[in-house]
């Protein structure tokens, strides 16, 4: 009896033991714990991601890498936790408990909260260091001159050139040479009007001059002096407006801050029209550039003086003023596809009364090579050089465009040739290399050819031979560089804005602000870098940063012209 009871007890014990073993085995090896472990891993990832940076887009559409608000990052990844758990809520039923468990880890520290607030988009000033203040000049210095458009030029009515905010009348697309829009009959001396209208749309204008990185003076100095260039006027008449302008500026509180060193002005003619050397009625131009106040301002011209320190060259206006990025890209691609049948070309007229001019030699060489060189002579009443269609057609069909000096160092034609994808050939570094420092590459060999003018005049250089020896791959590379330069040397339509490209206006504003900041630093430190070099060597100092002997010295000998 006792044995029977003992036997049954042992059987029950082993049966219970077997059931416990089976339950333990299923619990450990058969139940899938992976979803829960994945969700926990995601929560941990949310914590670790808090140290990464987030790319945020600024008000101008640029990507700016900023330190994130830690709480924003974690909230984003908490959403990921919810998404995972909702997709697999059979496995995780107590997510609230899990979140409470992790709550101390997800809570932002005080310093993180403050850091995030400090980078609030509303509080970030993207114009800091870029603000421009514009003087509200009496209308006699700008708008009233436009009302006199019929009398600004002795030989022609200038009124239609000031249509469309100074761009001129629309060209359309004659002979399918241009694009359907963006092309205008722009006068080479209209830059003051174009620049003023562009700056009215500048994104960082301010009415608080104390915030300004630079101060603009919208004086149409070129239109002013144009009235008095071709007839003998009294010097007091020629100088009247410019003297009254600087007197007006001296009376403004903005002037006293830096004595005008933070002011800049655009003069839409070459510098020599504002540098009358002597006070006789027969003297050319006025003395704007020589006035003491002007010596402190940054004077922007379409051609600067290599021997003076206060003027800087910016591009002549061309015929192309795009209103959007797509027009720029379309034009660049059109010039890449353009077939060019002439090796080189020249558009211009001889200068028989100028002994040092090489134009006659250039035209002689071109006429001797009719199959290789195309010539567009600028003469008589049917002057085709004044018609955009003829000029641009010539340049678009040529590989190289000759750019000899004319009445002065520079030519508008330089920028028309770049616009046409035609490689410019210079005969003096004064025509571009020491002029447009903010707009053209420092390495001039990447986009142009330099043939010394003395070699041409003395018949030591044959233009055809020099250009024919340039390898085809080099020509292709140079043309591509020229085409890439197009956005940098054009002024887009003042009524619109480019997003992808910086145009000549943008680069000019940057150059001015950088210069003013340097001058402002010198004022704080009690220094004056203008005394570091002889003004006659300005071209060397601004181009190379030093004034020692240079291989180009021969190009900048003073002549009767300057």
**Mind listing the pLDDT tens digit for each residue in 482-504?**
999 999 999 999 999 999 999 99
The residue ranges of DSSP E strands in 449-538, in sequence order, are: 449-450
> Do the beta carbons of residue 406 and residue 427 sit within 8 Å?
no
Measured CA to CA in angstroms, residue 466 lies from 204, 402, 449, 469 at distances of 48, 13, 10, 6
**Confidence band, pLDDT 50/70/90 cuts, at residue 215:** very high
**Reduced DSSP (H G I as helix, E B as strand, rest coil) percent helix, strand, coil of the chain, to 5:** 50, 10, 40
Cβ neighbours of residue 284 under 8 Å, at least 6 residues apart? 229, 272, 273, 276
Rounded to two decimals, the pTM is: 0.78
> In the block, which residue shows the tokens 């071709």?
230
> Do the beta carbons of residue 277 and residue 471 sit within 8 Å?
no
pLDDT over 70 (residue 381): no
**Confidence band, pLDDT 50/70/90 cuts, at residue 448:** very high
Phi, psi (5° rounding) for residue 5?
-65, -40
Other C-beta atoms closer than 10 Å to the C-beta of 146 total 16
Cβ neighbours of residue 63 under 8 Å, at least 6 residues apart? 55, 56, 57
Average pLDDT over residues 350-374: 87
pLDDT over 60 (residue 52): no
**Confidence band, pLDDT 50/70/90 cuts, at residue 28:** low
* Nearest-angstrom CA–CA distance, 44 and 106: 10
Average pLDDT over residues 526-533: 85
* End-to-end CA separation in angstroms for the chain: 139
Please write the tens of the pLDDT for every residue from 12-22.
Answer: 666 777 777 76
> In the block, which residue shows the tokens 């908490």?
78
* Nearest-angstrom CA–CA distance, 278 and 444: 36
Phi, psi (5° rounding) for residue 87?
-75, -15
């Amino acid at each position: 009896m006792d044995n029977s009871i003992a036997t049954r007890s042992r059987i029950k014990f082993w049966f219970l033991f077997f059931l416990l073993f089976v339950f333990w085995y299923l619990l450990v090896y058969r139940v899938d714990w992976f979803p829960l472990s994945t969700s926990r891993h995601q929560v941990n990832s949310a914590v670790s991601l808090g140290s990464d940076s987030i790319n945020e887009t600024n008000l101008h559409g640029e990507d700016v890498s900023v330190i994130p608000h830690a709480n924003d990052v974690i909230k984003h990844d908490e959403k990921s936790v919810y998404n995972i758990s909702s997709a697999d809520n059979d496995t995780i039923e107590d997510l609230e408990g899990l979140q409470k468990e992790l709550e101390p880890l997800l809570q932002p520290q005080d310093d993180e909260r403050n850091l995030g607030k400090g980078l609030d988009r509303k509080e970030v000033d993207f114009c800091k260091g870029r603000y421009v203040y514009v003087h509200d000049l009496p209308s006699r210095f700008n708008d009233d001159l436009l009302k006199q458009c019929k009398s600004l030029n002795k030989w022609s009515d200038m009124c239609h050139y000031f249509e469309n905010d100074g761009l001129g009348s629309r060209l359309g697309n004659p002979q399918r040479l241009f694009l359907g829009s963006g092309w205008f009959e722009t006068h080479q001396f209209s830059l003051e009007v174009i620049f003023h209208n562009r700056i009215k749309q500048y994104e960082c204008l301010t009415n608080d001059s104390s915030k300004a990185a630079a101060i603009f003076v919208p004086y149409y100095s070129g239109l002013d002096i144009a009235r008095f260039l071709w007839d003998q006027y009294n010097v007091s008449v020629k100088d009247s407006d410019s003297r009254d302008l600087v007197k007006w500026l001296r009376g403004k509180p903005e002037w006293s801050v830096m004595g005008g060193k933070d002011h800049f002005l655009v003069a839409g003619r070459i510098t020599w029209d504002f540098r009358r050397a002597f006070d006789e009625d027969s003297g050319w131009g006025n003395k704007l550039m020589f006035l003491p106040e002007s010596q402190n301002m940054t004077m922007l011209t379409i051609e600067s003086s290599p021997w003076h320190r206060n003027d800087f060259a910016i591009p002549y206006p061309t015929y192309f003023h795009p209103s959007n990025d797509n027009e720029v890209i379309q034009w660049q691609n059109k010039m890449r596809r353009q077939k060019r049948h002439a090796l080189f070309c020249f558009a211009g007229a001889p200068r028989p009364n100028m002994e040092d001019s090489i134009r006659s030699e250039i035209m002689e060489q071109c006429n001797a090579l009719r199959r290789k060189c195309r010539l567009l002579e600028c003469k008589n009443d049917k002057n085709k050089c004044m018609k955009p269609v003829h000029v641009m057609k010539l340049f678009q069909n040529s590989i190289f465009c000759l750019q000899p000096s004319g009445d002065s160092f520079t030519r508008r034609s330089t920028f028309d040739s770049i616009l046409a994808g035609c490689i410019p050939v210079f005969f003096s570094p004064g025509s571009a290399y020491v002029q447009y420092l903010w707009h053209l590459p420092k390495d001039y060999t990447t986009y142009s050819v330099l043939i010394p003018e003395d070699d041409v005049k003395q018949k030591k250089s044959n233009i055809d031979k020099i250009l024919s020896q340039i390898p085809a791959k080099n020509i292709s590379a140079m043309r591509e560089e020229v085409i890439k330069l197009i956005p940098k040397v054009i002024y887009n339509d003042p009524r619109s804005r480019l997003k992808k490209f910086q145009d000549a206006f943008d680069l000019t504003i940057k150059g001015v602000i950088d210069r003013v900041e340097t001058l402002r630093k010198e004022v704080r430190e009690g220094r004056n870098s203008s005394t570091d070099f002889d003004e006659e060597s300005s071209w060397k100092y601004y181009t190379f940063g030093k004034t020692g002997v240079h291989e180009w010295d021969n190009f900048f000998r003073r002549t009767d012209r300057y």
